[in-house]
A and B are shown apart, each in its own frame.
Chain A
Amino acid sequence: MDASTTIRADLLTLTSEQAMMLSPYLWVFGGTVLAMILSVTRAIQPRLPVFIVSVLTALVGMVVSLGLFAADRVMLFNNMMVGDSYANFFNVVFLASAALTMLASFEYLDQERLQYGEYYLLVLFAALGMMLMASALDLIVIFIALELMSLSVYVLVGFRRADRRSNEAAMKYFILGAAASAILLYGTALLYGATQSTNIRDIQAFVQSQSGGVSIMFTLGAWLVIVGFLFKIASVPFHMWMPDVYEGAPTPITGFMTTGLKAAAFATFVRIFISTGYGDGLPAAIQSHMHDIIVVCAVLTMVIGNAVALTQTNLKRMLAYSSIAHTGYILVGMIAGQGSEQGYAPVVLYLVAYAVMNMGAFAVLAILAARADQGLNLRDFSGLSSRQPWLAFAMSVFLLSMAGIPPTAGFAAKYLLFYSAVQAHEIGLVVISVLCSAISVYYYLRVLVHMYMHEPEEGAAPLRPVSVWAAAVVASMVVLTVQIGTLPAGMLAAAKRAVMSL
């Protein structure tokens, strides 16, 4: 009662460490506002200035976050947020993903006649939401950040206003996403009822203080929060929205969703997962039942994702289903996280590796997409090796990486992930994962077969010229894919450090 009337000075002032930790958020926010002003100033041609300001905002923010990576943990805003290595690690991923998305979009938007400044703004706002998600320690803050991200992305998905599919996708995503948010919020409310707090750490402390088990209310609340995230990461059976949305969204945005959005959801999920559902202190019955459910989800996710991807002939849709399959692999890592030596570091590494190769693959798709995102069927890739040898090569690297073939990032990440699952004695899961991976090789390689062993289609439409920006994105992703694949130690160490700071 007193708390609402007295002014607490420590909530209004920032120490220098806190200010420093907040600087990437403030910078990105400031950059976004500047870009917004530029985009409404119709006096100047807004195309280039907005683009450059937005990209610079993301890139500089990324560098700042990178600089803060090694800094000590700082609690922010009365423990509602935290600035630790984990948060900064993911900030780098989000901002890089945002920057690369914008770079890959520039030419694409010109072609689609969608070159509006709002596009970049929304990407930045989504990135800011992701950053807040990964550093939030309070379920309410997480909810707000999630909504900031989601609302921006809903609009981005429907950005091709003239296209029916794009609108439909945005609508579906919005309706189902709203339902998921409601469930998340309901779970939060139940947790508050059970524990008198929305703070993750308090909840964790509460669980550990309960010797005699927890109430149904707590269990229900925790599970509903988890379901909210299972929706965002598109785990079966909460995955139905994903293929339609991925297909309908503008291609670079699909890339953004598979990389940034997915990483954000997982980053937050891991934070919550450890403290609410999966931590110590819960009764064994609950733990084992939750474990069962998530194992079933993971298995279904892998099997359905891969099996349906096999039947797709549209690359965008194929990659959407493959994205579901990869969610399954990451879930395996999360299940294994507690029982293995590396902990959740393989999960984090996998997220990075997956983000890198998917970013690259979608950048290639964005380059190749014809008007209105046509021309992404398998047969359009026939003979790409002779029409665009470098693009075909880059695409091959990304696909091989997704299939988990050395020396690419996908292999190193998958290896470490499955290895940790073996350590956690989840042998059955690993066997299923590996079998699913084997299935996935089929549909990844099929694209390679089309690119390298088929002749180009008769009368294929001429390809649009490759912009410098997009080429830079693709090239840097190829380099990163191979770099993480051959020398995973550095990235793994960073991931470990990030996870240790949790």
Chain B
Amino acid sequence: MLALIPLLPLIGFLINGAWYAFGQAPAGRKQANAAITGTLASLAIGASFVVSLILFLQLRGMSPEAGDHRFIEQTLFNWMQIGAFQLPMTLRVDALSALFTLFITGVGTLIHIYAIGYMSHDETPGKFFAFLNLFCFAMLMLVLGASLPILFLGWEGVGLCSYLLIGYWYTDDEKASAGKKAFIVNRIGDFGFLLGMFLIYATFGTLELAQLTAAVHGGLPAGVAESTVTAICLLLFLGCVGKSAQFPLYVWLPDAMAGPTPVSALIHAATMVTSGIYLVARLNVLFSLSPQAMLVVATVGAFTALLAATIAIAQRDIKKVLAYSTVSQLGYMFLGCGVGAFSAGVFHVVTHAFFKALLFLGAGSVIHGMHEEQDIMKMGGLRKQMPRTFAVFAVAWLAICGIPPFSGFFSKDEILWQAYSSTHGHALLWGFGALTAVMTAFYMTRLFSLTFLGTPRFQEHGAHGHGDGHGHGTGAGAGVHESPAVMILPLAVLALLSAVGGFIGVPHASWLDEWLDPVIHSQHELAAGVSGSTEWLLMGVSVAGAAIGIFFALRLYADLARAEALRKRFAGLHQALVNKWYVDELYDHLFVRPIHALSQGLWKGFDVAVIDRIVLGIGYVTQWTGQTVRVVQTGSTQVYAFMFVVGLIATVGYLIYGLA
């Protein structure tokens, strides 16, 4: 049963992939029907969702009081055995992975359905949906794997799919390089992950997650230094920094927006990028043992949150804004984990999956309706043309800004409160978080206002042509139109979830905390000098901050001339923000060019001059040997028989000599 969850998307991948590889690819590029392949893929992941739901209910049925540990395990086969090391292919679902499985398959299904509409003009939907299914398979392996190598298998698998889907339109050079960038930057993180894994095996002698957790459950095991644990955590965190796009490895995520929008929503907002948080939450017991590592996690998270939020303010591409916003929100989640509030971090993963998927899909709907226009400066007033998209987008906007009672409020507030009050927390961390919250409200409102409010800033051709299901022309002739129902429906579901999803984690009555308790034992330990009433105060501050951000942005962007004047006044700062603090340029000068120069030098000075000569020399010697030995191979039977006899006599002689 458990195996079905990842297996179903894998089957979908195989069918769609085979259909593409055998059906479409050899026959040349003729357009295929997205509805068939898309429905198939959606059914695969949808069925997987149903299975996840059943398993979730099964898990709920187990009572921790009765001694059940609330997990289901299934070993499929023994993958490999090397000496004493065994690696069974074991899947394991417990409270944490059940939660992840649910929203991966749930949100995944919605995005698959949405993509049927979005990819309707695509030439190779079979390939697209095959990759999308393969991604789901890998992601599910990641969260269901019972040991680190299997988790790593999924980890690499999602990386591969991410690469394939970012560069999906690979004929465009820029998109292809975006894919490469994502892959290479992630390699740096994966390197850390691998080293961390090796160190874990060397230290604890196991890679099984349950055994590892059990080994460190009661504090530091004997013979293990705290510095070792810190090293392990930091190495693993390096992996998370890569995969979850944290400073300094976040640079790939904004470029990853080159992929189709459903991909951005599924992989680069809702699921894959949260796998870093999953890993940290999964190993929360280990991380808790090392205050230094926790501090690093929290600091990196807080800093990334703020940095990305500032950059988001000045971006003009609707998807870029959302991308930086994702980086920023991921920073929030790590901030939560870093201050010991792992369940708050996971909570934000869930709510973020809802509203960020909704934001991306809404943006996709806008892009689709505007015929591939992504510049928000060329939009405006879309609430009239796209009323449904406008409505759902508004929900997501309020959710991410943290306005109660939308979902984002609860999770964000929980993280902020913990950042202030927990024993690992600090007022400074809270300050970073709160400032980010204000900025988030500001840039999201800016995006919202420039896109949907005000007056249109685009040339409206055939404005009467809008509405559902009208002919999809290409470009200039057709007007802006609302997206078809197959795209709007998933949006509506996500809007509902974004609106009410927060109630699973109401402070002090949190269902989520209780549910995650077997995996993440949350100790609501307050630091000295923090009282309960502070919580209400901080909550008020964060809501007020968000309100101020929204209000200010609404006022500013209602009158674009004023915004322009403000931009002129801070031209230098604005330029820095538009250019993302020149981080890409910095990396280019610091790493890319020196490495390139070094590689050039090694290539010409060492490889060609030294290695090649050695290799070719050995090659010549071997060739010569071969030619020489071949001389004996004359084809004459007599020679063969002679050699046979010589061999016989020589060996027998040697043996008799040994006996004598």
**A residues near B, CB below 8 A?**
168, 171-172, 175-176, 179-180, 183, 216, 219-220, 223-224, 227, 231, 236-238, 240-241, 243-244, 283, 285-286, 288-290, 292-293, 303-304, 306-311, 389, 439, 442, 487-490
Contacts and interface: CB of A to CB of B under 8 A. Distances in A.
Given A289-B658, A307-B629, A308-B629, 18 more contacts: A219-B655, A220-B652, A220-B655, A227-B651, A237-B644, A237-B650, A238-B647, A240-B633, A285-B659, A286-B655, A289-B655, A289-B657, A290-B655, A293-B651, A293-B654, A307-B626, A311-B626, A487-B79
Interface string B555-583: 00000000000000000000000000000
Interface string B635-652: 101011101101110111
A285 B78 contact: no
A175 B637 CA distance: 8
A243 B633 contact: yes
B637 A176 contact: yes
Contacts of B623: 307, 310-311
B619 interface: yes
B641 A310 contact: no
A309 to B, nearest CB: 8
Contacts of A172: 637, 640
A489 B637 contact: no
A286 B658 contact: yes
A223 B635 contact: no
Most central of A231, A292, A311 by chain B CB within 10 Å: A311
Contacts of B644: 176, 179-180, 231, 237-238, 240
| The 4 nearest A-B residue pairs measured at CB | A289-B658, A237-B647, A240-B640, A307-B626
A487 B622 CA distance: 35
Contacts of B648: 183, 227
A27 to B, nearest CB: 32
B533 interface: no
Contact of A176 (B78, B641, B647, B650): B641
Contact of B658 (A288, A439, A489): A288
A293 B655 contact: yes
B528 interface: no
A56 B69 CA distance: 53
Contacts of A490: 77
A216 B659 contact: yes
B637 to A, nearest CB: 5
B640 A241 contact: yes
A487 B77 contact: yes
Most central of B626, B654, B657 by chain A CB within 10 Å: B626
Contacts of A241: 640
7 contacts: A176-B637, A219-B655, A237-B650, A285-B659, A307-B625, A308-B626, A309-B626
Nearest to A490: B77
B85 to A, nearest CB: 12
A220 to B, nearest CB: 7
Interface in B392-424: none
A405 to B, nearest CB: 17
Contacts of B651: 223, 227, 293
A310 B639 contact: no
A286 B26 CA distance: 63
Contacts of A238: 644, 647
Nearest to A308: B626
B647 A175 contact: no
B656 interface: yes
Contact of A223 (B79, B640, B641, B652): B652
B550 to A, nearest CB: 53
B80 interface: yes
B627 interface: yes
A371 B394 CA distance: 73
B647 A489 contact: no
A310 B622 contact: yes
B626 A292 contact: no
A220 B655 CA distance: 8
B508 interface: no
Nearest to A293: B651
A241 B79 CA distance: 41
Nearest to B660: A216
Nearest to B657: A289
A488 B654 CA distance: 40
Contacts of A488: 80
B630 A308 contact: yes
Nearest to A283: B659
A238 B641 CA distance: 9
B63 interface: no
Contact of A442 (B619, B630, B635, B637): B619
Interface in B56-104: 77-81
Given A176-B644, A216-B659, A293-B655, A304 B78 contact: no
Contacts of B655: 219-220, 223, 286, 289-290, 293
A244 B630 contact: no
Given A220-B652, A292-B654, A175 B80 contact: no
A319 to B, nearest CB: 15
A327 to B, nearest CB: 14
B171 to A, nearest CB: 20
B659 A286 contact: yes
Contact of A216 (B78, B626, B647, B656): B656
Contacts of B650: 237
Given A172-B640, A220-B656, A237-B643, A308 B633 contact: yes
Contacts of A307: 622-623, 625-626, 629
Contacts of B625: 303, 307
Nearest to A222: B655
Given A172-B640, A179-B641, A293-B654, A489 B78 contact: yes
Contacts of A285: 658-659
Nearest to A321: B626
Nearest to A180: B644
B81 A489 contact: yes
Nearest to A284: B658
Most central of B79, B619, B646, B659 by chain A CB within 10 Å: B659
B627 A489 contact: no
Contacts of A308: 626, 629-630, 633
Contacts of B26: 389
B619 A489 contact: no
A499 B619 CA distance: 39
Contacts of A236: 647
A172 B78 CA distance: 48
Contacts of A176: 637, 640-641, 644
A306 B659 CA distance: 34
Nearest to B618: A439
